[in-house]
Amino acid sequence: MIYITGDTHRDFSGLYSKAFNKDDMLIILGDAGINYYLNEEDRKFKEHLSRLNIKLFCIQGNHEERPENISSYKEVDMFGGKVLIEYDFPNLIFAKNGEIYNIDNKRVLVIGGAYSVDKDYRLMYGHQWFKDEQLSESEKEMILNKFKGKNINIILSHTCPKKYEPTEVFMSGIDQSKVDKSMEEFLDKLEENIDYDKWYCGHYHTEKQINKLEFMFGRIKVFNKNEYYPKYNRDGYEIIRDYCAQNDVMAREKVSCPVCHLRNILIQKGDGHKINGSDYIALICHDCKKVYGFSDVNYYPNCPKEI
């Protein structure tokens, strides 16, 4: 099975409890964070990830070094195109920008990279910043010339076309007039000159759909299907995500299931670290055998949803 998710930023804890197998693959839409420190710390992290029972297919983000700039990576053929891997960690696969892959019998175009709005902060405090975080002008021109007027089934990118920017999640305190939008403007131009069926992107730490484009962050979906994974919890109860608001249930004098209205229920709490205020994330009904997720959980900024 092939799955897809947004930025992980070196946090793969959500994978540990899920039932994957060695033939499964998870696409990460940039900022996996695997090549961040560029020292022994990265190697230890890769050794840890190599024990995961799943392959990771990573797009280039803006908080990581390009693997082609790291001498231990070798270019090999995979999925009908070129990818970069380290032989010591064959389950950690890195896509090449502008490459077409055959994934799940779909023609898939990969376009990584984005501008870091926290660039000045990272440089000021000695954190890593990568000069190749965005595509070069020659790379953009190559991609546009190669695919203009063509049909691509699915596009995987880190950032999005400028017309689709989710301005509602822009970081407060960032002067947007000083943000380099050249990648988004390039993707605007590409989107206008290419025929595609579906577009996935990450970068903005939000989940939403606009037309054929979908922003992804913490939750996992089955690739090319509008189906979250896992579909069921450990007890075999179906998970109905974003079913209702907390107040629809919690404000009642007697809390009951929003569907069957019986009281054979359990209120599911979050992990206690991601939520500002009440950490109720769902109601579990033992009669319906369903988990009804709350749509208005007040997560801290940059925290992925738990359900």
pLDDT given at position 199: 98
* CB contact set of 101 (below 8 Å; sequence gap of 6+): 78, 79, 80, 81, 83, 95, 107, 108, 110
Closest CA to 208 of 172, 179, 167, 240: 167
Question: pLDDT for 86-119, tens place per residue?
Answer: 999 999 999 999 999 999 999 999 999 999 999 9
pLDDT band at 221 (very low <50, low <70, confident <90, very high): very high
In a domain, 27, yes or no: yes
In a domain, 17, yes or no: yes
**Of 175, 202, 229, at which residue does a domain stop?**
229
18 and 146 housed in the same domain: yes
Domain that holds residue 135: 2-229
256 and 192 housed in the same domain: no
* CB contact set of 8 (below 8 Å; sequence gap of 6+): 28, 31, 32, 33
In a domain, 62, yes or no: yes
The pLDDT > 70 percentage for the chain reads 100
Question: pLDDT for 6-55, tens place per residue?
Answer: 999 999 988 987 889 889 999 999 999 999 999 999 999 999 999 999 99
Can you read off the two tokens belonging to residue 157? 């990118």
pLDDT given at position 175: 87
Check whether 220 has a pLDDT greater than 90.
yes
Closest CA to 57 of 156, 130, 205, 133: 156
The CATH number for 146's domain is 3.60.21
Phi and psi at residue 266, to the nearest 5°: -140, 135
**Domain count along the chain:** 2
